[in-house]
């Protein structure tokens, strides 16, 4: 679940948080988003899926301010071992994410998770 401080300032209409992160060693990234449960941002979700990402988790919850949120996790398989991304796929996918999210005025900061975060 993404940590939301507030739901009063979405990063895009219906989108409260976006995290692009990879488990160590940091080659294959997933997209984690927190969206408005009552009015999911269909255009944003379609844009993520148009990059070849598949939704693998949908977890609704109520934020402490009463707003209903859905955490969505998206992953995209690659051609490397264990369906991971090759270096070329990583470079191309991160570039495409930058382009697509820029269309929603969202800037991403891809990161590699800590071991504790990745394997809890």
List pLDDT tens digits, range 22-50.
Answer: 998 899 999 999 999 999 999 999 999 99
User: Could you list the residue range(s) of the whole structural domain that residue 45 is in?
Assistant: 15-103
Q: In this structure, what token pair is assigned to residue 47?
A: 């844009």
Using DSSP, state whether 106 is helix, strand or coil: coil
What's the pLDDT at 65? Answer: 86
Contacts (Cβ under 8 Å, ≥6 apart) of 39: 14
Express each pLDDT in 55-110 by its tens digit.
Answer: 999 999 998 888 899 999 999 999 999 999 999 999 999 999 999 999 999 999 99
Q: Is residue 110 part of a domain?
A: no
User: What's the total number of domains in the chain?
Assistant: 1
Q: Is residue 56 part of a domain?
A: yes
Asked whether the predicted pLDDT for residue 120 surpasses 80, the reply is no
What's the pLDDT at 109? Answer: 96
Around 24, how many Cα atoms within 13 Å sit in the side-chain half-sphere? Answer: 7
What's the pLDDT at 1? Answer: 55
Q: Is residue 45 part of a domain?
A: yes
Q: Is residue 10 part of a domain?
A: no
Q: Is residue 115 part of a domain?
A: no
Q: Report if pTM > 0.75.
A: yes
Asked whether the predicted pLDDT for residue 7 surpasses 60, the reply is yes
């Amino acid at each position: 679940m993404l940590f939301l401080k507030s739901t009063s300032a979405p990063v895009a209409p219906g989108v409260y948080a976006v995290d692009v992160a990879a488990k160590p060693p940091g080659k294959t990234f997933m997209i984690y988003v927190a969206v408005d449960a009552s009015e999911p941002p269909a255009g944003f979700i379609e844009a993520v899926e148009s990059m070849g990402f598949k939704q693998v988790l949908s977890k609704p919850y109520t934020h402490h301010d009463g707003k209903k949120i859905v955490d969505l996790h998206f992953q995209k398989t690659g051609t490397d071992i264990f369906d991971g991304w090759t270096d070329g796929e990583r470079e191309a996918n991160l570039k495409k994410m930058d382009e697509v999210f820029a269309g929603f005025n969202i800037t991403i900061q891809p990161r590699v998770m800590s071991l504790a975060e990745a394997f809890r």
